[in-house]
Structure formats: C-alpha cells, structure tokens
Amino acid sequence: MQTNTESTFKTPTPIKQLLAAATLLISTTAISAPEELWTINNLDQPESVVADPGTDLLYISNINGNPFELNGKGYISRVSKNGEVQQQFWIKGLDAPKGMAVVDNYLYVADLNKVHVINLEKGQVVNLLKAPNAKMLNDVTAAPDGTVYISDLLGGAIYRIKDNQLQRWFTSEQLPHPNGVLWHQGKLLVAGWGYPLNPDFTTATPGSLYQLDPINPSLIPVASGFQLGNLDGIVAIGTNLYISDWISGEMFRLAGKERTRVLSLAAGLADIGAANDVIYAPMMLDNKIVAWKIDNL
C-alpha cells in the first residue's frame, strides 16, 4: 500500500521502445586499460569503498560472513588513499555492512535493516536508525542538503533519511531491485540489479540506470545505462559516470549517450568508490581492494 511518504512510477512503453532503439547506437568497445596503483589483500568480503573528501582516508565495509545474516561479524576498515592500512578493524560489531556515504563528519553505513551513523573523529557509532521492514539495505548516497538516500536491493525500495528519520520513500514496478545510488547534478541516480532474481543472483533481464527527481519522484531511464548488467556501484569523475557489474566483473564509463567498457575483472566487483581520477574497486569474492588510475578523457 502506498503511503504519503512513498511514490510510485511506471515507465511508459514508448520510452522503453525509444531506449531499445537508442542502445543500438551506444558503443561498448574497450579502451586502454587503467593503471593499477595498489592492492590491499586479506580483507573479509569487502563490499563498499567510500572516500572521505575532506581527508586522505578511505573507509571499507567488510561483510565477513553471510551477507543476509545478523551475526555481529561485520566491520569497517580505515585506510589511506595511497593504500596504507591504518586500522583494519576500525569499527566492529556490525552485521553485514554494505554501502556507505560521508556526510560532514559522519559515516552512514547500510546494514541489512538499519543504518549506522558513525562519528568519524570519535570512531564511534553515535546513532542507529532502524528500518524493520527493509530486506537488504544496500547502497547509500547524500544530497548537498544532508538528505541521505539508501537502496533496499531485496525490498524493492529507496529509503530516505531526512530530519534524522529513516523512512521508505520510493518504489517502482520498473525497479524491483535497486542497488547503486549516487547523487549527481541535482538528481538521484539509481542502478538496478535486473530481474527476475535467480537463487544465484543472476537475472534474465539486465539492470538499467535511472535518474530520479527527488522533488517530484519519477524514474527517467538513462540511455547509456539501459539493460547494462547486474549493476552495483556508481561514481562520478567530472561529468562522466563509472558503474560496476557485480556478476560479470566489468566496469563501464557512461559519457552522454555512449558507454565504454573500462575494465574486465572477476565476478564480485562491488560498490566502487572514487577520488579525483582514481577508482577504488572492492573485489568482494577475492577479499581485496584494488586502486585504478583512470584516463577520464
């Protein structure tokens, strides 16, 4: 049932047809490989990397167990942007932490049915916002006004934190499994995983990238991200977008109406992070993070 805090939208069939035609013009050719800068090994199912824009630090979420289980084994690592591990077990006692976002001096961490709020200076969880009906809160992003958006991959919804309240905010039949989220140029970008979801998390129909207007919520398909893959993380470098496919291990650059394959890695390429011209790639199944310098031209 729809409430006054939740919006729904169904993409009209003509738009689907236009997108299908547009994708015929989109390039998927490979470009020169990015430069591998460093690797951090011996992590525990790293799912997400986020760069602190105000410091030289990265934060890494480690699931460290069953990604669906409330087990208290998950943790956050703190490392430098040049690949030096400062504290592998910086914040402990989480369940299956996934996407994160830095907002001022706080780190917001999605963790199944709740969001942890961590004070970065104190290194402590200072707030816990619960979403008892959520099935798998996954990625996190924030708008300039401090509003935080969180995807629920298995629950088919976008949650929002506003005025310190966590509420289910948006659902759509066209987006049954929203995953990566990114605030970009005044809009919320949402990457779909695809559908229907098989037991091994593959899908018959690949996921697409959508733009969501936060004022009057409605999904607008992004042509270059139409049926791209089992999409996970999204970052922006300049005006270009970079998006990861967890199942295939591929990373794409979306520039206008063109998409270009940037990397072909192993399965498990999860929620990527970025700072300047470097992308930090969590290889969840290989228990490592790899930093890649990107040619963004």
Q: What is the pLDDT of residues 79-96, one digit of tens each?
A: 999 999 999 999 999 999
Per-residue pLDDT at 5 exceeds 80 = no
pLDDT at res. 4: 36
Per-residue pLDDT at 110 exceeds 60 = yes
Lay out the sheet containing 137-142: strands in order across. Answer: 137-142, 148-152, 157-162, 165-171
Q: At which residue do the structure tokens 């460290």 appear?
A: 64
pLDDT at res. 8: 35
Residue type at 106?
Y
Separation between Cα atoms, residue 76 and residue 92, nearest integer Å: 7
pLDDT at res. 297: 60
256 or 142, greater pLDDT: 142
pLDDT at res. 27: 56
Q: How far is CA 136 from CA 17, 23, 50, 297, in A?
A: 31, 31, 19, 36
Q: The pTM is what? A: 0.91
pLDDT at res. 130: 98
Question: Domain-by-domain residue ranges, the chain?
Answer: 13-293
Cβ contact 55:66 at 8 Å:
no
Separation between Cα atoms, residue 142 and residue 211, nearest integer Å: 15
Closest CA to 47 of 25, 66, 33, 32: 66
Q: How far is CA 162 from CA 55, 103, 146, in A?
A: 25, 13, 8
8 or 183, greater pLDDT: 183
Q: What is the pLDDT of residues 155-189, one digit of tens each?
A: 999 999 999 999 999 999 999 999 999 999 999 99
Q: What is the pLDDT of residues 9-67, one digit of tens each?
A: 333 343 454 444 344 345 555 467 899 999 999 999 999 999 999 999 999 999 999 99
Residue type at 5?
T
Residues in the chain: 297
pLDDT at res. 296: 77
Cα–Cα–Cα angle for 101, 102, 105, nearest 5°? 150
Mean pLDDT rounded to a whole number for the chain: 91
CATH fourth-level superfamily of 13-293: TolB, C-terminal domain (2.120.10.30)
Task: Name the β-bridge partners of 137.
Answer: 112, 152
34 upstream amide cis, omega within 30 of 0: no
Q: What is the pLDDT of residues 218-251, one digit of tens each?
A: 899 999 999 999 999 999 999 999 999 999 999 9
Per-residue pLDDT at 2 exceeds 70 = no
Could you write out the three-class secondary structure of 226-247?
Answer: CCCECEEEEEEECCEEEEEECC
Mean pLDDT calculated for residue range 198-212: 96
